Amino acid sequence: MDEDKKLIEKTIKGEKEAFEMIIRKYQQPILNYIGRMVGERELAIDFTQDVFIRTYSSLHLYQPQYKFSTWLFKIASNFMIDYWRKKKIETFSLDQPPKWDSSNPPLQIPENKSSTIKKLEISQLREKIERALEKIPAPLREVFLWRHINEFSYEEIAEIKNLPVGTIKNRVFQAKEMIRSLLEEKE
Partner 1 sequence: MKCLSIEQIYLYIEKELSEAENKKIEEHLTTCPKCQRALEERNLLLQAAESLPLWQPPPDFTQQVMAKIFPTRVPISAWIKAISAGFASIILALFIFLLASGQNLSGLLISFNQTLWNFIKNFALLFVKIFKLATLLIKVIQQFFGFLINGFTSLTAIISPQVQIIIIAISIIVILTLIYGIKRKLFIGERT
Contact residues toward partner 1 (CB under 8 A) are 16, 19-20, 23-24, 27-28, 31-32, 35-36, 41, 44-45, 48-49, 52-53, 56, 105-109, 111-112, 115, 117-118, 122, 125-126, 129-130, 144, 148-149, 151, 154, 169, 173, 176-177, 179-180, 183
Question: In whole angstroms, how close is the CB of 95 to partner 1 at the nearest point?
Answer: 26
Q: Is 36 exposed, middle or buried (0-12, 13-18, 19+ CB in 10 A)?
A: middle
Question: In whole angstroms, how close is the CB of 88 to partner 1 at the nearest point?
Answer: 26
Query: How far is Cα 44 from Cα 21, in angstroms, rounded to an integer?
Result: 20
Query: How far is Cα 81 from Cα 76, in angstroms, rounded to an integer?
Result: 9
Select 2 or 40, whichever has its Cβ closest to partner 1. 40
Select 42 or 95, whichever has its Cβ closest to partner 1. 42
Do 112 and 186 meet the contact criterion of CB atoms below 8 Å apart? no
Count of CB atoms within 10 A of residue 120's CB?
Answer: 14
Select 95 or 151, whichever has its Cβ closest to partner 1. 151
Select 120 or 163, whichever has its Cβ closest to partner 1. 120
Query: How far is Cα 71 from Cα 77, in angstroms, rounded to an integer?
Result: 10
Residue 27's contacts (CB-CB under 8 Å, 6 or more residues apart) are: 48, 52
Select 21 or 81, whichever has its Cβ closest to partner 1. 21
Question: In whole angstroms, how close is the CB of 156 to partner 1 at the nearest point?
Answer: 13
- C-alpha Rg value of the chain to the nearest Å: 18
